[in-house]
Every structure is written in C-alpha cells, then in structure tokens.
C-alpha cells in the first residue's frame, strides 16, 4: 500500500476518535498520579492531535518498530512522555505493556521520565532537553531525502514532530528551522502544541513573538488549527503532505484538556492531579473504567490502528527484494560498513610510513577523508561555515541541497548546535554516517547535542580543529584550553587527539568503527612533526608506548596531539643526560580505560618520575601521572600571538618537561 493510500484510510471503528483520545488522557493521568511525578498536561492537551496523526496519517506497524521505511515520530516536548508511552501501548507495541505504564518513571521500567532512544522500542530519539527533538528531526528528514536520492522509491516516508512553547523558545529551534527551511525539507512536519503554557505560567510572561510568522519567514509552509477539532486537524495534516516545503501546524490546545476544573490551568504543566481532581476529570469525560483499565472497544480500535501499516510494510519488503540496491541499503541501515571500507585508508597509512609528512593534523584528517569518503558512500560531511579550516570537504563532493539531495556535503552555516543535533538525527535514522566540522572552542555551542548523542550511542563524528593555543593569533576567545578535558569527562564519547598523520588516520578508522558512541576529532591548526614510524593500529588501545627508555626507565612522559613531539624532544635531552625515559602517546583516554588492567598498568609503567604535557588544563591527567606527577600545560586562558611565542610564554616546551622530570627524580 502506498503511503498516500495509507494516510487516506477511513475511520477505523465505530468508536469515536474523541473517545480514543480520551484513552490517552486517562492513561496519562493515571500513570503520573501513581508515580507522583511527571507531566500529564501536555499529553492530555495534544491527545486529539496525536490520535488523528497515529490513526490516519502516520505510517508505521506496531509489530515491527524498526521497519526502515516507517514514518519517524519525534516527541520534542519530551516532558510529556506519557503521550508517546500511551500511544505505543494503545497501538500494540509489545514492549510497552500496561505493567510498564503502571511503572512509569520507576527503576527498571522502559517508561522513563523522558523518552529514551534504545531503551523503549518505538522511541526514535531521546528527548527532554527542549528544542533538541525538533533539531534532531531535521536530521532525520535530511537522511530520508538523501537516501531517497540514493536508493529511489524504497525510501518514501515522513518525519513528524510534536513541539511545545519551550521547544520554540530554545535557541536551537531557530537554527533547526532555518536549516530545514533553507533545504526545503518537505517531508518534515512540526505540530506546535500552542497552549501558551510553560512551567512558570502563561508563556506570554516570557514570549510574545509570533511563532507562525517566524516559521514562515524561515521558508516553511504554515497553518493554524483548533487542536481539539479532529476534522480540522486531519485536513491540516493532509495539507502538510502536499507541500513543497517543511510545514508547521500551530495546534491551538488547552493544557490538561478533559481534566475538569484543571483544564487550561497553566499550573497543570507539571502538576500531579489529586484523587478528587482525577475523579472530576473522569466524570467530565464520562469515563467509568477503573485506573489502568480500558474499554475493550476503545482498545480494539487503537490496536487496529497499530496493525493498519502491516500491509504497507509487507508490500515495501517485497519491493525491497526487487530493488537492485537492496543489499547496500540493508547494510547501510544496519550500520555495517562496506567490505573494503578501509582498504584505501590502509594504503594511505603505508605511504605515510614511507613519507613521514610534517603538517597540521587537520590537514592529515582531510587526507584521510579523501580515502574514506570514496570507499564509504554513507559518509555525509559538512561544516559550520568553516570548510576551508576544518578540511572536511573532499574531492568530488557536491552540496546536499534541494531538489536532488544526492549531495554529500552539508553547508550548515554558523549553526553549531543545530548541526550537531541534525547529525544525531541522521545517525538515528540510519543509512548515513554524518561528520562535520567547527573549531574546538565552539564545542561548547554544540555540547548539549554531543551529550545527547553520547547518551543515545549515535555514530556521529565531530571534527573540531584549532585544538589549542597553537591556533595562535585569533587569541583566547578561539583557543580551547578546557574543552578537551570537559569532553573527555563525558561518558560514552570518544575524544581523539592524534599526534601526527598516522595517528590521525588510525583515529578516523576507530571513529567509523564505533557504531555505539560518537567521536570528537581534536585536530591542530599548526604543523607538527611526525612521531610514528610504523602502522599497526596502535591507537586502538587508546594509549601506547611510543618510545621505550634506553636502559632502565626512570621517567615516563605522557602526551597527546601536538605535544607528543615535545615529549619526544624532551626524551632525547633526558637520554643525553643519562635519564632513561619512555614516551606514551594517549590519543583516546576512553579506549585506554576500556583495556584490561594488565595492559593499562604496563603502559603507565613504574617509572619514579611521571610527567604529562598537553596544551590544555591538567584536569584528568591524574589517571596517568598520579597525584604527585608533574604537568606541563595551561592553567589560564591563552593570548593573541604567533603560536611559537605562545608555547614559549606559557612554558609548554621540551625544556620545561625536562625540568619537571628532574624535579621528581630522587637524588642519586
């Protein structure tokens, strides 16, 4: 069944749509009341919109939550999580049983306080930090358009978003709607829960802007409807499917619709209804069933809605089998890499061993990408208006843009946060491996999206160049000193800071193999000499002995990135002075922490003097040097000057590393 035919289905039963919406309301009230925690206001207010969407327009099959050509539904207003849990339970998603609804927000349940990707089948993305669901959905819509250009008719679905006042107040919403409007993502529809409510009260105490006009100005098609009139909602959704631009429908709703005296009360946003208020709400709705019990006709109508996509799914599966691109599509959607994904990269590494180039690691990254993007067609790159600095564009790439969408390079503009969130959406959609670039100092702009990507285990690669005071004259506003340390503190994020061309290539391979965690590539602007003389994927263990001591090891110097060369220079001086010194390169701390204890101890060693050197703050280096180890690095912000002068003035030199080692050696 074609998508348009599916969306044109008539009413599913004699049970009224309004009664079906009431089932969402009572489940939301009951679950929040039992948990003594949560938000029933938004689910009750948007129950009518969600009912029309899920029974008449959304393409899905409850028996197969991972069907690749399903529509994507994103609850950007994630605090109203009971809306999606109620929908999943009512339509028959097996994972969300009534027992799970009863255990809302409890230990061990899959009905967490905010929807979590990977935790609950049917939840497409983790939401809760407002605005990010909308921005992530933009990435999903981008992935759909790109894959449709690549694979043809086997990719034909839409992305639907429910967003609230808070989502549209967050700055990321401006970035997201601007990107979507520029790219004319006509398979994307945002349903705005226009209830004029936030936690503090009516939204107008903080926001009086015209959201409809804002979307229209960004290039969207817009419409406003009564969010409780099922007929008008259906007409608006049908209108959305015919537009040549992304669409926003402002659904005028009452928060806690159906909650009797609490209906429309701004304070019911996160307010848990009392027993007598729930009783009054049930009476107002004419709902006589006990808590967590549903009338059989209503449940049957919902279950029928959950099964209606089975025919379309089976037809699609038959179509996929006939498609010439079936094998590549299936592999890409499952996250697998081509069989020869790294053949060109390995050949590139062999040449690096022979040639030992001296250049910035951002340049080495660009060279690695030249080998990778040809071999891995799923890679879609981009930059936040810093293409020439980030080296993320490779030969032959063309822009991702309307109307064809076959291009693999995205011009995100100066929108770091929106870019990072959109890449999360691409990765979650499947079939695309997104990477893009900005300066490392601006990781703080995109940090919240990086964090959600880590929480979800999304394979996203953030290329972040100009990684230290080594960028020089742009000064402390652009010189990251704390960003590497702060990113390393984030769970399930691989932070790579490679030392030279070989390490950079190896780190790219590791980032692409990491299909359960995002990666950051921290890369230098300034040139750095080669330190590796062989291949061997040594970066795979996160840290390794780059250079052994001559004789007994009296000192170990730990370093990452451009400072590995400084460590090697210090080692030469120390050896000349009779001090046996090892150098350990630490390109990825997370991978090192994942190694067994025996390996970690062997790398750290037993040298009496341990010193770390990095053009950043000390935080975290204790894992290598202990509490008494030496550190040569930054304890302040940087300054504006040529990088050679900066390293000298801030004391990040081989001479200071030598001095730090000697200060920790016992007198002979």
Q: Catalytic positions, please?
A: 416
Q: Who contacts 224 (Cβ-Cβ below 8 Å, separation ≥6)?
A: 194, 212, 249, 250, 252
Tally the residues of the chain. Answer: 668
Nearest alpha carbon to residue 161 among 197, 124, 195: 124
The secondary element (H helix, E strand) that includes residue 164 is strand 159-164
Task: Check if the beta carbon of residue 108 is closer than 8 Å to that of residue 158.
Answer: no
Residue owning tokens 């965690």 = 517
Residue 468, SS3 per DSSP: coil
Helix %, strand %, coil % for the chain, to 5? 45, 15, 40
Burial of residue 310 (number of CB atoms within 10 Å: 0-12, 13-18, 19+): middle
Residue 3 in tokens? 């998508």
Distance of CA 165 to the CA centre of its chain: 22
Nearest alpha carbon to residue 145 among 381, 429, 352, 362: 429
Pairing of strands 197-198, 188-194: unpaired
Residue 38, SS3 per DSSP: coil
Pairing of strands 461-465, 494-496: unpaired
Task: Check if the beta carbon of residue 140 is closer than 8 Å to that of residue 74.
Answer: yes
CA atoms within 13 A on the CB side of 48: 22
| CA–CA dist 371, 177 (Å, integer) | 34
Burial of residue 410 (number of CB atoms within 10 Å: 0-12, 13-18, 19+): buried
Upstream peptide bond of 403 is cis (omega within 30 degrees of 0): yes
Determine the Cα angle at 239 with ends 237 and 242, to 5°.
115
Residue 520, SS3 per DSSP: strand
Task: Check if the beta carbon of residue 408 is closer than 8 Å to that of residue 373.
Answer: yes
Residue 191 in tokens? 């349903």
Strands (E), 447-502: 461-465, 494-496
| CA–CA dist 483, 442 (Å, integer) | 9
Residue 28, SS3 per DSSP: helix
Q: Who contacts 269 (Cβ-Cβ below 8 Å, separation ≥6)?
A: 39, 41, 42, 197, 198, 199, 255
| CA–CA dist 210, 613 (Å, integer) | 52
| CA–CA dist 237, 246 (Å, integer) | 12
- What residues form DSSP beta bridges with 438? 464
């Amino acid at each position: 069944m074609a998508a348009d035919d599916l969306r044109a289905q008539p009413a599913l039963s004699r049970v009224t749509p309004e009664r079906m919406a009431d089932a969402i309301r009572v489940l939301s009230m009951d679950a929040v009341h039992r948990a003594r925690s949560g938000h029933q206001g938004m689910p009750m207010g948007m129950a009518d919109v969600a009912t029309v969407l899920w029974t008449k327009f959304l393409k899905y099959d409850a028996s197969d939550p991972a069907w690749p050509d399903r529509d994507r539904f994103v609850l950007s207003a994630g605090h109203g999580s009971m809306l999606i849990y109620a929908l999943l339970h009512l339509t028959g998603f097996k994972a969300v049983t009534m027992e799970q609804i009863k255990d809302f927000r409890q230990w061990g349940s899959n009905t967490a306080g905010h929807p979590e990707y990977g935790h609950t089948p049917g939840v497409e993305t983790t939401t809760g930090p407002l605005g990010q669901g909308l921005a992530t959905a933009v990435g999903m819509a981008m992935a759909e358009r790109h894959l449709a250009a690549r694979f043809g008719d086997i990719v034909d679905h839409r992305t639907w978003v429910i967003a609230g006042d808070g989502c549209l107040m967050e700055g990321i919403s401006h970035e997201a709607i601007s990107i979507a409007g520029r790219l004319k993502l006509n398979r994307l529809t945002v349903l705005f829960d226009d209830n004029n409510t936030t936690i503090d009260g009516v939204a107008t105490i903080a926001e009086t802007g015209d959201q409809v006009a804002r979307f229209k100005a960004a290039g969207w098609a817009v419409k406003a409807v009564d969010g409780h009139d099922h007929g008008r909602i259906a007409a608006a959704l049908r209108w959305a499917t015919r537009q040549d631009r992304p669409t926003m429908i402002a659904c005028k709703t009452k928060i806690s619709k159906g909650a009797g005296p609490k209906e429309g009360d701004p304070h019911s946003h996160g307010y848990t209804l009392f027993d007598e208020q729930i009783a009054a709400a049930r009476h107002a709705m004419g709902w006589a069933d006990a808590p967590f019990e549903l009338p059989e006709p209503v449940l049957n109508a919902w279950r029928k809605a959950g099964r209606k996509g089975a025919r379309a799914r089976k037809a699609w599966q038959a179509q996929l089998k006939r498609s010439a691109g079936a094998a590549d599509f299936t592999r890409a959607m499952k996250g697998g890499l081509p069989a020869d994904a790294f053949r060109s990269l390995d050949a590139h590494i062999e040449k690096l061993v022979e040639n030992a180039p001296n250049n910035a690691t951002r340049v080495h990254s660009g060279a690695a990408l030249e080998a990778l993007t040809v071999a891995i067609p799923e890679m879609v790159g981009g930059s936040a208006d810093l293409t020439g600095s980030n080296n993320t564009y490779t030969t032959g790439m063309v822009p991702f843009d309307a109307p064809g969408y076959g291009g693999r390079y995205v011009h995100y503009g100066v929108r770091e946060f929106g870019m990072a969130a959109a890449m999360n959406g691409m990765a979650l959609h499947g079939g695309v491996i997104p990477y893009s670039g900005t300066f490392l100092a601006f990781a703080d702009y995109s940090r919240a999206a990086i964090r959600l990507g880590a929480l979800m285990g999304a394979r996203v690669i953030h290329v972040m160049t100009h990684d230290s005071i080594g960028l020089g004259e742009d000064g402390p506003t652009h010189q990251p000193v704390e960003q590497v340390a702060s990113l390393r503190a984030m769970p399930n994020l691989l932070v790579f800071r490679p030392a030279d061309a070989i390490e950079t290539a190896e780190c790219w391979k590791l980032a692409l193999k990491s299909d359960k965690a995002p990666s950051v590539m921290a890369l230098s602007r300034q040139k750095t000499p080669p330190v590796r003389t062989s291949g061997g994927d040594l970066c795979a263990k996160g840290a390794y002995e780059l250079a052994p001591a001559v004789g007994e090891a009296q000192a170990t110097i730990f370093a990452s990135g451009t400072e590995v060369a400084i460590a090697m220079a210090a080692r030469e001086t120390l050896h000349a002075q009779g001090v046996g010194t090892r150098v350990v390169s630490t390109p990825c701390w997370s991978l090192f922490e994942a190694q067994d204890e025996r390996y970690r101890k062997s790398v750290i060693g037993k040298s009496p003097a341990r010193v770390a050197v990095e053009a950043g703050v000390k935080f975290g280096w204790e894992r290598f040097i202990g509490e008494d180890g030496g550190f040569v690095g930054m304890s302040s912000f940087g300054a504006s000057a040529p990088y050679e002068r900066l390293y000298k003035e801030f004391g990040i030199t081989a001479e200071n590393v030598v001095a730090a080692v000697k200060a920790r050696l016992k007198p002979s």
